[in-house]
Amino acid sequence: MTALPEPAVLVLEDGTRHVGRAYGALGTTLGEVVFATGMSGYQETLTDPSYAGQIVLQTAPHIGNTGMNDEDTESRRIWVAGYIVRDPSRVVSNWRANASLDEVLVQDAIVGISGIDTRSVTRHIRAAGSMRGGIFSGDAAKTDADEQLRIVREAPQMAGRNLSAEVSVEATEVTPAVGEKVGNLAVLDLGVKQATIDNLAARGFEVHVLPQDVTIDGIRAIEPVAVFYSNGPGDPAASGDHVELLRAVLDDGLPFFGICFGNQLLGRALGLGTYKLPFGHRGINQPVLDKSTGRVEITAHNHGFAVDAPLEGSFDSPNGYGKVEVSHVGLNDNVVEGLRALDIPAFSVQYHPEAAAGPHDANYLFDRFRDMVVDTQKDAK
C-alpha cells in the first residue's frame, strides 16, 4: 500500500487556512500568493523567472499529467516560491516526459500543497487581493497556527521588492541570428524566457543577453542596433537603475522594445507612474485591444503591476521624449497593455508575445520590432 503524502497547510496573511497534502519538497516557503488561469503549460509557468517570489496557484484542477521534459523549460530552473494544485496526476502520460512534476519539484526544492479547494482560494484572492502566504508541509505543518501566521506576516511584501538580481544571468550569453543578420541586440535580462530569445534570433538579431547590472557603456560596447527589456518579477518602482539605464538608451536614439516588466520600466522612463493591481493578470486567455488596428488579441500575461497613463489620445512625455500614446488596452479591466512613443523609436507591451505556453495572436510584435529597427537603420544612412 502506498503511503499517503505528508500533511500540509496553506496560511494566508489574513488568517485564512487551507489544510491539504504535501506536494513536492517538504518544509516551509513564503511568498505572494497569486493564481494562474492557464489550462496547459504548467512547465513553462514554473520555469518563468517572472514568478520569482510568488506562490503560484493553478486554477486548472488537474496538473502534472504530461510530466516534465527537457524541451519546454523556459529558463535554467523552477522559479516559483511555492506551488498550489488541487489534483496532482498520479501518472505521467506523455512520450516526451523524462520525469514527473513532483520529482522535479523535489529536485528544485519547491514546497507545494495539493488537495485543497483551489477555486475557493482563487475567489478569496479575487475579492481580497493578492496577499502574502506560506505553505508549511511535513513537520512544519505541525507548527502552532499562531506561529505560522506570524511567520507569514513577517515575510516581505511584493511592493517595493527588486528581484532582478536573483533571476538575471551573471555573464553575457549570446544566441546567433537565424538567417540574414539584422545586427546585435542588447537584451537586458530581468527574467527573460527562452522562447523570447528564440523569437528575437529568428528575426535576424544576434541576441546578447546581458546581466541586469550592465551599464550604458556595457551596452554600447556590443554596438547594438536596438535594445530589448525583458519580463521579470518585482516592483518597477524599485528598479530605478534600470529606468536610468533606459533613459540613456533612449537618449542615444537606439530603438527599444520592452515586454511585461519592460513595459512598466518604459513607462517610468517616459515619466509615468506605476501601481500594483489588486490581483494581477496571470494566464493565457487575456483579451487585449490593439488600438492601431482595432484587432482583439487573446494574450498571455504575468504581471502584478501596471502603468498609469491616459487611455485616449496622445500626451507629452513628462521626461521630454515627445508624444506618447497607449497602444493596447486590456478589455477585462481597461489596464494599460502597451505604450508607443510617437517621436522616438520605442514601444512596449504589458503581455508576452512569445506566449510559451499560450496563444500566438501577439507574435507579430516581434516582426513590428524588426521592421522598426530596419527602418531606423535606413533613415540613418
Provide the grid cell at 139.
513537520
337 is catalytic: no
Among residues 13, 74, 206, 260, the one annotated as catalytic is 260
Answer for the pair 56, 280: CB distance below 8 angstroms, yes or no.
Answer: no
First to last CA, the chain: 75
Amino acid at position 12, single letter: L
Among residues 44, 74, 297, 354, the one annotated as catalytic is 354
Alpha-carbon torsion, ordered 31, 330, 373, 254, to 10 deg? -60
Is 291 strand, coil or helix? Answer: coil
Supply the DSSP string of 213-273, one letter for each residue.
T--HHHHHHT-EEEEEE----S-GGG-HHHHHHHHHHHHTT--EEEETHHHHHHHHHHT-E
Nearest to 199 by CA among 231, 243, 161, 151: 231
Residue 277 half-sphere exposure toward CB, CA atoms < 13 A: 23
Question: Would you tell me how many other CB atoms lie within 10 Å of the CB of residue 347?
Answer: 24
Answer for the pair 204, 182: CB distance below 8 angstroms, yes or no.
Answer: yes
Among residues 242, 303, 328, 352, the one annotated as catalytic is 352
Answer for the pair 302, 231: CB distance below 8 angstroms, yes or no.
Answer: yes
303 is catalytic: no
Enumerate the β-bridge partners of residue 8.
20, 137
Q: Which residues are catalytic?
A: 260, 352, 354
